């Protein structure tokens, strides 16, 4: 049975430590987030101004009414500003009384300090707009001052429609002004929302950019021992997909979550500002939604985990069986593998249906509860309206605010899956960043390439890739400047390990490796690798031009490149290509033969001109003509340099200054080709076996 991949961690709940680390990623860009927060405040305030403007429009314009009050004004009315005096009678806007407690209003009315009949107040300029309107008003009960008229609302209904419209001119002008306010607020909300969303998304992109660079730098600096155990696909996924989930956290979760939470808080504050009694009732009707949201959150977390586990099992099965498809076909296991895949795919389908069911139930339930809450508010509001405890505009504003409260509730719950995915991705990213397995680069002794003589010493070197499985056991040898040293032995003897230790792809566990008399760990890593360059057995070429694969970014002239190509016998081949040095190579040099790739790697070394080279010679699977080319190129590359060459074909090292024969990580023989043949030891056995095979 295929188990869930170890790296597929599923976050079971909110993890504040992860959120803290993610916040740390955004800390360098706090100014962007601060400005985004400013825009969020603007958008939220604008959202709340919309229902308030509706309330003001209804109460102060559409249903405008005044009542009489005694003079001087009672103490309870001293702080109210909306008053007018007409012919000695004080009038106060009726909506102003809504600010007072019910008991205070009732006391004022019972004492006669405030009248019960509603009046309409007009300016004289409004009355003069229509000919004959003044005479019509004189026939009605009214009060007239120097510039104002007050007419009972019950008397206004006796006027014809044309007269009533004329009297509403000022109200219509005020209404148009409120409409302009409304449009201005909508533009403010649009600008604030755009600024907040854009800056949050922009910050997410900046975080991703910085995090990818940090991940890439961190990865390439790790020890090959660690990188060799990590699948390439896993590392690529960490730098791409998992980082993208953090971006979604900023763009889809953080941005919306901040907006929704601020909107919900602002809605509650606005409700209590408009009418505390009605706001308290609304909060009571919202309690079932809070309970439902918590239940759905738990269910969503559970089904999300099931979906991720099912996806991981499907991916693991596909990866394993597609990799081994040849074995499946050879043993006619297609039907069995189809059934097994169908079973895992069915589990994934069932998990996804359960996830869909959770959210399919949640949204209609929230809509239902929102409708119930709205209906309850309208019912209670109508009763309070009859008791003169709330105005019609406040009631309309509350229905609008309820809708604005429930929309974020649905949005927050639906963002939970994105939050879970982002946290899972961020955990994997931080897990990679927490892996520290680097080669120490604490050397302070400068190493200038032009001053390197090239004397190499291995002094009782011990090394093991795994504990209790030694590869080198007390290995000691010297290489004098300019010598060509060949290393031979059976597979697993430690040949390639020697050249990897010399270039510090790994460090020895015991003993010392010296270059020109100093431990190589005393040199800066970059200086050492410029002085000692390695040609690997599996030559790697990038998806780039031949020129760039040779120079690797070093600024050299084409003449130097051509001279190097000529020296290693590859120039004629390159000239025969349509684009010459600008010929584009496929990934890993797939459009070249193994011999051509090796020759290009030799030209690369000549261009960089290191004083020491180490070479894992790959001549075991090439034809004789290519071998002759490589042999001549090898002589050119190693000429005048200290060279350590792991030999696979012993015929290529006959002229080596010295040959080291390894067995089990121990140096068992050393000498020239002829000297070793005369000893009739391991080297002679290897040579005769290879000669007989040929």
Residue 484 CB-half CA count within 13 A: 16
Q: For 10-19, 83-92, 466-475, 575-584, which range has the lowest pLDDT when averaged over its residues?
A: 10-19
Judged against a pLDDT cut of 60, whether residue 8 lies above it is answered with no
How far is it, in rounded angstroms, from Cα 464 to Cα 466? 5
Mean pLDDT value of segment 119-132? 77
How far is it, in rounded angstroms, from Cα 285 to Cα 368? 12
Judged against a pLDDT cut of 80, whether residue 67 lies above it is answered with yes
Judged against a pLDDT cut of 80, whether residue 85 lies above it is answered with yes
Mean pLDDT value of segment 197-207? 87
Q: What is the tens place of the pLDDT at every residue in 255-276?
A: 788 888 888 889 889 888 888 8
Q: How confident is the model at residue 6 (pLDDT cuts 50, 70, 90)?
A: very low
Identify the H or E element spanning 662.
Answer: strand 658-663
How far is it, in rounded angstroms, from Cα 260 to Cα 403? 13
Question: In terms of pLDDT, which residue wins out, 315 or 630?
Answer: 315
Phi, psi of 383 (to 5 degrees): -65, -45
SS3 label, residue 389? coil
Any idea where the domains of the chain sit in the sequence?
16-49+186-434, 56-174, 449-693
How far is it, in rounded angstroms, from Cα 174 to Cα 53? 12
Q: What is the tens place of the pLDDT at every residue in 323-347?
A: 778 777 777 778 888 888 888 888 8
Q: For 29-43, 388-402, 481-495, which range has the lowest pLDDT when averaged over its residues?
A: 388-402
Of 655, 607, 600, 654, the closest CA to residue 629 belongs to 600
CATH 1.20.1560.10 fits 16-49+186-434, yes or no: yes
72-98 as b/e: b if 16+ CB within 10 A: ebeebbeeeeeebebeebbbbbbbbbb
* Counts for the chain of helices (H) and strands (E), in that order: 26, 16
Q: What is the pLDDT of residue 462?
A: 92
Judged against a pLDDT cut of 50, whether residue 4 lies above it is answered with no
Judged against a pLDDT cut of 50, whether residue 3 lies above it is answered with no
SS3 label, residue 37? helix
How far is it, in rounded angstroms, from Cα 205 to Cα 209? 6
Judged against a pLDDT cut of 70, whether residue 692 lies above it is answered with no
What CATH architecture is 449-693?
3-Layer(aba) Sandwich (3.40)
Q: What is the pLDDT of residue 80?
A: 66
Judged against a pLDDT cut of 50, whether residue 195 lies above it is answered with yes
Percentage of residues of the chain with pLDDT beyond 90: 6
Indicate the DSSP class of residue 651: G
How far is it, in rounded angstroms, from Cα 644 to Cα 638? 9
Q: What is the tens place of the pLDDT at every residue in 213-250?
A: 888 888 877 776 667 666 676 677 777 777 887 777 77
Judged against a pLDDT cut of 80, whether residue 573 lies above it is answered with yes
The encoded tokens of residue 462 equal 């011990």
The encoded tokens of residue 461 equal 């070197």
Q: How confident is the model at residue 1 (pLDDT cuts 50, 70, 90)?
A: very low
Mean pLDDT value of segment 579-594? 80
Q: How confident is the model at residue 12 (pLDDT cuts 50, 70, 90)?
A: very low
Find residue 90's DSSP bridge partners.
Answer: 69, 85
Q: For 265-279, 284-298, 371-385, which range has the lowest pLDDT when averaged over its residues?
A: 284-298
Mean pLDDT value of segment 387-402? 82
Q: How confident is the model at residue 137 (pLDDT cuts 50, 70, 90)?
A: confident
Say if pTM beats, i.e. exceeds, 0.85.
no
The 3-state secondary structure of 567-632 reads HCCCHHHHHCCCCHHHCECCHHHCCCCHHHHHHHHHHHHHHHCCCEEEEECCCCCCCHHHHHHHHH
- Are the C-beta atoms of residues 149 and 124 closer than 8 Å to each other? yes
Average pLDDT, the chain: 81
Q: What is the tens place of the pLDDT at every residue in 400-417?
A: 888 888 888 777 766 776
The 3-state secondary structure of 419-468 reads HHHHHHHHHHHHHHHHCCCECCCCCCCCCCHHHCCCCEEEEEEEEEEECC
Mean pLDDT value of segment 297-307? 75
Question: In terms of pLDDT, which residue wins out, 24 or 10?
Answer: 24
Mean pLDDT value of segment 42-66? 85
Q: How confident is the model at residue 459 (pLDDT cuts 50, 70, 90)?
A: very high
Strands 89-93 and 532-535: unpaired
Residue with tokens 């190499």: 456
Judged against a pLDDT cut of 90, whether residue 124 lies above it is answered with no
Per-range mean pLDDT, top range of 386-390, 412-416, 568-572: 568-572
Q: What is the pLDDT of residue 460?
A: 92
Judged against a pLDDT cut of 60, whether residue 2 lies above it is answered with no
- Are the C-beta atoms of residues 52 and 187 closer than 8 Å to each other? no
How far is it, in rounded angstroms, from Cα 372 to Cα 368? 6
Q: How confident is the model at residue 190 (pLDDT cuts 50, 70, 90)?
A: very high
Q: What is the pLDDT of residue 627?
A: 63
* Residue 529: cis peptide before it, omega within 30 degrees of 0: no
Question: In terms of pLDDT, which residue wins out, 434 or 183?
Answer: 183
Query: Are 16-49+186-434 and 449-693 in the same CATH fold?
Result: no
Q: What is the tens place of the pLDDT at every residue in 148-157?
A: 888 888 888 7
Q: What is the pLDDT of residue 224?
A: 65
Identify the H or E element spanning 260.
Answer: helix 255-274
SS3 label, residue 666? strand
Q: What is the pLDDT of residue 619?
A: 53
């Amino acid at each position: 049975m295929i188990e869930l991949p170890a790296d597929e961690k599923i976050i079971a709940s909110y993890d504040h430590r992860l959120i803290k680390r993610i916040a740390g990623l955004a800390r360098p860009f706090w100014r962007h987030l601060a400005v985004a927060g400013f825009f969020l405040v603007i958008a939220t305030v604008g959202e709340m101004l919309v229902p308030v403007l509706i309330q003001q429009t209804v109460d102060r314009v559409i249903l405008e009414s005044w009542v009489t009050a005694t003079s001087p004004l009672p103490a309870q009315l001293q702080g109210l500003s909306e008053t007018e005096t007409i012919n000695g009678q004080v009038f106060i806007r009726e909506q102003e009384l809504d600010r007072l407690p019910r008991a205070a209003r009732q006391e004022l009315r019972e004492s006669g300090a405030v009248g019960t009949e509603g009046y309409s107040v007009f300016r004289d300029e409004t009355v003069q707009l229509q000919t004959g309107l003044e005479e019509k008003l004189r026939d009605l009960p009214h009060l007239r001052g120097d510039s104002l008229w007050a007419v009972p609302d019950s008397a206004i209904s006796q006027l014809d429609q044309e007269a009533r419209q004329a009297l509403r001119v000022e109200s219509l002008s005020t209404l148009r002004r409120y409409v302009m306010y409304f449009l201005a607020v909508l533009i403010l909300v649009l600008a604030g929302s755009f600024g907040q969303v854009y800056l949050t998304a922009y910050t997410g992109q900046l975080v991703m950019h910085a995090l990818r660079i940090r991940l890439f730098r961190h990865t390439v600096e790790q020890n090959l021992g660690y990188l060799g155990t990590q699948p390439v696909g896993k590392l690529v996924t960490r730098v791409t997909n998992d980082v993208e989930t953090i971006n979604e956290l900023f763009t889809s979760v953080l941005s919306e979550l901040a907006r929704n939470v601020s909107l919900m808080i602002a809605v509650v504050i606005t409700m209590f500002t408009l009418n505390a009694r009605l706001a308290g009732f609304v909060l009571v009707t919202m309690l079932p939604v809070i309970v439902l949201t918590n239940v759905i959150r738990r269910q969503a977390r559970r089904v999300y985990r099931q979906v991720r586990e099912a996806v991981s099992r499907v991916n693991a099965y596909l990866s394993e069986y597609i990799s081994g498809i040849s074995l499946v076909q050879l043993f006619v296991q297609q039907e069995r593998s189809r059934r097994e895949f169908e079973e895992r795919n069915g589990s994934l389908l069932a998990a996804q249906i359960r996830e869909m069911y959770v959210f399919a139930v949640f949204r209609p339930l929230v809509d239902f509860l929102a409708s119930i809450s709205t209906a309850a508010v309208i019912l209670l509001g109508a009763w309070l309206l009859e008791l003169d405890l709330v105005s019609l505009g406040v009631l309309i504003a509350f229905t609008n605010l309820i809708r604005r409260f429930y929309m974020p509730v649905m949005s927050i719950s639906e963002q939970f899956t994105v939050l879970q995915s982002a946290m899972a991705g961020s955990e994997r990213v931080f897990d990679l960043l927490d892996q520290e397995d680097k080669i120490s680069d604490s050397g302070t002794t400068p190493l200038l390439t032009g001053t390197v003589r090239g004397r190499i010493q291995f002094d009782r070197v011990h090394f093991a890739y795994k504990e209790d499985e030694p590869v080198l056991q007390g290995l000691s040898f010297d290489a004098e400047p300019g010598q060509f040293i060949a290393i031979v032995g059976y597979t697993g003897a430690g040949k390639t390990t020697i050249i990897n230790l010399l270039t510090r792809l790994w460090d020895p566990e015991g003993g010392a490796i010296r270059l020109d008399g100093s431990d190589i760990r005393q040199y800066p890593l970059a200086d050492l690798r410029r002085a000692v360059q390695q040609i690997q057995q599996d030559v790697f070429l990038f998806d780039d031009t031949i020129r760039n694969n040779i120079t690797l970014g070093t600024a050299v002239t084409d003449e130097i490149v051509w001279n190097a190509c000529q020296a290693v016998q590859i120039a004629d081949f390159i000239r025969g290509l349509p684009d010459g040095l600008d010929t584009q190579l496929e990934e890993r040099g797939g459009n070249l033969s193994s011999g051509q790739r090796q020759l290009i790697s030799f030209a690369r070394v000549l261009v960089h001109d290191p004083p020491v080279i180490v070479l894992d010679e790959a001549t075991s699977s090439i034809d004789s003509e290519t071998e002759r080319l490589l042999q001549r190129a090898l002589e050119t590359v190693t000429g005048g340099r200290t060279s350590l060459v792991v030999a696979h074909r012993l015929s290529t090292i006959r002229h080596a200054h010295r040959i080291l024969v390894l067995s089990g990580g121990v140096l068992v023989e050393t000498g020239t080709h002829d000297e070793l043949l005369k000893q009739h030891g391991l080297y002679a056995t290897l040579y005769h076996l290879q000669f007989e095979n040929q």
